[in-house]
């Protein structure tokens, strides 16, 4: 059970060289589920989302679109924000790294690290992959020198850069990991990071003298600060008074930045560390990696226009465990929509409402605050979204069974009192289900609440209409 009275959760801040796809929606919805859950149990919750704009990718994308960079970033930022709004994401703030509040915090942060003696000038020689926004090793490239993830040939750069003494923090990070085996989850990711740190940390270059777009290094404005050193600080710059975050939700692709570089930066600048980093898995589409060049990215809005927001939320977290890789297909989405939502939950709710209507039963008073049962809370506290959903669906099946067994419809004429007793009992079970559904299926939970709490319970529109 969570004893915390406050809860601060973050999503990755996404690059704006592209439009949002369901991969981005995945991490964002996960944070939204948790934020809604923590609000439901009465925690003072802060949910932060945002965009990573000071990247070289932004410059290239603006050029490609033939747009001036400022108007390109504003346009894309508007689109991302609109997408989250349409998906019903309840972030409390939205940070853009081009905002003044961010720049101010990055400069303060950089100055603190420098004052601590952790920044020095050096020469860097390496292959820079813009896709990764990082230097990659020759070994990570294929025989022809191409990055296997981005199918581009990283340039060999030789630059005078400022370096951050990451190596200095190796022992402290190892100690931190040893003392906090739950600092990184799932467990296999923890081991991955632990072994990586144990293998030795090298200093990293944190400025670029060949680029113009970004935040200027305070001590040498001919350099801009490396996009990751800048981007990670968003978690503080949005609301410095709330730091540290309880949880960073990220994908497994950006684990080292969050679990190694970020803690070292924080230790150097003298800030507290986040309490937990959870790296989720990646999903493919019909077995294929989501990629811009294949053009197979799916716009989450497209799904929700056909099926509603809740179907997307349910499917993404029901289909495979959070933390694992998985696959997305419209075929499975449709199957799950039919079996679990339209015919499962939807049918149960409307059958019981119809019975309540014929018995003229009055609505249920909405509760002030829900307490949610502890087995369910344990799953959510452990980010076991799939198990939490299974737990709710077990209750739905049990309620279905008890409806089938008690057959109240046969008693409507002969024993109205007994029928009312049975249906009232079913209503109580549905209300309990409604409370559990709230973080996962907020629109559906709201519809059930309205249907079951008006003066008289009435059959209303189906919970999960298909729009096409
Ligand atoms: N800008 C950096 C993050 C900086 S955080 C301080 C970045 N941005 S990104 O736009 O590339 O987004 C990466 C994140 O998007 C992943 O970590 C993951 O959460 C999500 N996903 C992108 N593709 C995905 C899948 N195919 N599957 C699941 N999630 C995916 O990296």
The 3-state secondary structure of 322-384 reads ECECEEECHHHHHHHHHHHHHHHHHHHHHHHHHHHHHCCCECCCCCCCCCCCHHHHHHHHCCC
Residue 232 Cβ inside 6 Å of ligand 1? The answer reads yes
Cα–Cα distance for residue pair 163/347, rounded to 1 Å: 61
Burial track 278-311 (b if 16+ CB lie within 10 A, e otherwise)? bbbbebbbeeeebeeeeeebbebbebbebbbbbb
Over the Cα atoms of the chain, what is R_g? 25
Cα–Cα distance for residue pair 299/23, rounded to 1 Å: 9
Q: Whose CA is nearest to atom 25 of ligand 1?
A: 23
Distance (Å) from CA 23 to ligand 1 centroid: 7
Q: What is the DSSP letter of 131?
A: T
Distance (Å) from CA 254 to ligand 1 centroid: 7
Residue 236 in this model has a pLDDT that exceeds 50: yes
Q: Which of 8-12, 130-134, 400-404 has the lowest mean pLDDT?
A: 130-134
Q: What local confidence, expressed as pLDDT, does residue 468 receive?
A: 64
Residue 24 Cβ inside 6 Å of ligand 1? The answer reads yes
Contacts with 407 (C-beta within 8 Å, 6 or more apart), sequence order: none
Residue 13 Cβ inside 6 Å of ligand 1? The answer reads yes
Residue 231 Cβ inside 6 Å of ligand 1? The answer reads yes
Q: Higher-confidence residue: 466 or 334?
A: 334
Instruction: Pick from 24, 53, 283 the residue to mutate for probing ligand 1's pocket: most ligand atoms within 8 Å of its CB.
Output: 24
Residue 146 Cβ inside 6 Å of ligand 1? The answer reads no
Atom of ligand 1 nearest to the CA of 252: 17
Q: What local confidence, expressed as pLDDT, does residue 134 receive?
A: 85
Residue 300 Cβ inside 6 Å of ligand 1? The answer reads no
Distance (Å) from CA 14 to ligand 1 centroid: 6
Q: What local confidence, expressed as pLDDT, does residue 52 receive?
A: 98
| Whole-prediction pTM | 0.95
Cα–Cα distance for residue pair 364/454, rounded to 1 Å: 8
Per-residue pLDDT tens for 339-364?
999 999 999 999 999 999 999 999 98
- What proportion of the chain, given as a percentage, has pLDDT over 70? 99
Q: How far is CA 38 from CA 42, 139, 316, 370, 371, in A?
A: 6, 44, 20, 11, 11
Residue 250 Cβ inside 6 Å of ligand 1? The answer reads yes
> What mean pLDDT is predicted for residues 448-467?
90
Instruction: Pick from 11, 26, 214 the residue to mutate for probing ligand 1's pocket: most ligand atoms within 8 Å of its CB.
Output: 26
Per-residue pLDDT tens for 257-290?
999 999 999 999 999 999 999 999 999 999 998 8
Instruction: Pick from 29, 52, 251, 315 the residue to mutate for probing ligand 1's pocket: most ligand atoms within 8 Å of its CB.
Output: 251
Residue 27 Cβ inside 6 Å of ligand 1? The answer reads yes
Q: What local confidence, expressed as pLDDT, does residue 2 receive?
A: 44
Atom of ligand 1 nearest to the CA of 281: 28
Q: Whose CA is nearest to atom 8 of ligand 1?
A: 14
Distance (Å) from CA 262 to ligand 1 centroid: 16
Confidence of residue 384 (pLDDT cuts 50, 70, 90): very high
Distance (Å) from CA 251 to ligand 1 centroid: 6
Distance (Å) from CA 19 to ligand 1 centroid: 12
Residue 320 Cβ inside 6 Å of ligand 1? The answer reads no
Residue 466 in this model has a pLDDT that exceeds 90: no
Cα–Cα distance for residue pair 32/385, rounded to 1 Å: 12
Q: What local confidence, expressed as pLDDT, does residue 1 receive?
A: 46
Confidence of residue 135 (pLDDT cuts 50, 70, 90): confident
Residue 20 Cβ inside 6 Å of ligand 1? The answer reads no
Neighbouring CB atoms inside 10 A of 378's CB total 15
Confidence of residue 133 (pLDDT cuts 50, 70, 90): confident
Q: Higher-confidence residue: 287 or 112?
A: 112
Q: Whose CA is nearest to atom 9 of ligand 1?
A: 14
Per-residue pLDDT tens for 14-62?
999 989 999 999 999 999 999 999 999 999 999 999 999 999 999 999 9
Per-residue pLDDT tens for 211-235?
899 999 999 999 999 999 999 999 9
Residue 283 Cβ inside 6 Å of ligand 1? The answer reads yes
Cα–Cα distance for residue pair 296/284, rounded to 1 Å: 10
Residue 119 in this model has a pLDDT that exceeds 80: yes
Q: Whose CA is nearest to atom 6 of ligand 1?
A: 232
The verdict on whether omega for the bond into residue 186 sits within 30 degrees of 0, i.e. cis, is: yes
Q: What is the mean pLDDT of the chain?
A: 94
Residue 4 in this model has a pLDDT that exceeds 60: no
Q: Which of 108-117, 123-132, 166-175, 396-405 has the lowest mean pLDDT?
A: 123-132
């Amino acid at each position: 059970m969570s004893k915390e009275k406050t809860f601060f959760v973050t999503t990755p801040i996404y690059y704006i060289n592209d439009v949002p796809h369901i991969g981005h929606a995945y991490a964002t919805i996960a944070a939204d589920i948790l934020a809604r859950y923590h609000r439901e149990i009465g925690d003072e919750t802060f949910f932060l989302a945002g965009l990573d704009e000071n990247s070289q990718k932004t410059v290239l994308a603006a050029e490609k679109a033939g747009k001036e960079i400022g108007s390109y970033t504003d346009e894309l930022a508007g689109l991302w924000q609109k997408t989250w709004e349409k998906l019903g994401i309840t972030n409390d703030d939205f940070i853009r790294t081009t905002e003044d509040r961010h720049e101010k915090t990055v400069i303060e942060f950089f100055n603190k690290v420098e004052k601590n003696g952790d920044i020095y000038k050096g020469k860097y020689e390496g292959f820079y992959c813009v896709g990764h926004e990082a230097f990659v090793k020759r070994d990570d490239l294929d025989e022809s020198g191409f990055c296997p993830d981005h199918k581009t040939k990283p340039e060999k750069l030789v630059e005078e850069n400022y370096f951050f003494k990451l190596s200095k923090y190796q022992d402290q990070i190892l100690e931190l990991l040893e003392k906090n085996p739950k600092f990184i989850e799932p467990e296999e990711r923890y081991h991955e990071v632990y072994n990586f740190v144990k293998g030795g940390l090298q200093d990293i270059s944190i400025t670029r003298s060949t680029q113009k777009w970004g935040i200027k290094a305070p001590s040498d404005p001919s350099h801009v600060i490396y996009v990751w050193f800048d981007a990670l600080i968003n978690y503080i710059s949005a609301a410095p008074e709330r730091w540290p975050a309880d949880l960073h939700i990220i994908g497994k692709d950006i684990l080292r930045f969050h679990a190694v570089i970020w803690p070292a930066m924080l230790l150097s600048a003298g800030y507290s560390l986040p309490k937990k980093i959870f790296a989720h898995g990646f999903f493919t589409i019909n077995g294929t990696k989501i990629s811009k060049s294949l053009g197979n990215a799916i716009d989450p809005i497209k799904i929700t226009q056909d099926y509603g927001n809740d179907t997307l939320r349910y499917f993404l977290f029901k289909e495979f465990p959070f933390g694992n890789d998985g696959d997305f297909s419209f075929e499975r989405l449709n199957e799950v929509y039919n079996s679990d939502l339209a015919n499962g939950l939807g049918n149960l709710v409307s059958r019981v409402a119809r019975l309540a209507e014929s018995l003229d039963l009055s609505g249920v008073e909405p509760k002030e605050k829900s307490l949610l049962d502890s087995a369910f809370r344990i799953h959510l506290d452990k980010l076991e979204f799939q198990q939490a959903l299974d737990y709710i669906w077990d209750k739905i099946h049990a309620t279905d069974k008890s409806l089938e067994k008690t057959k109240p419809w046969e008693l409507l004429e002969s024993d109205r009192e007994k029928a009312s007793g049975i249906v009232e009992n079913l209503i109580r079970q549905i209300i309990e289900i409604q409370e559990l559904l709230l973080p996962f299926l907020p629109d559906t939970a709201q519809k059930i609440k309205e249907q079951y709490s008006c003066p008289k319970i009435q059959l209303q529109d189906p919970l999960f209409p298909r729009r096409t």
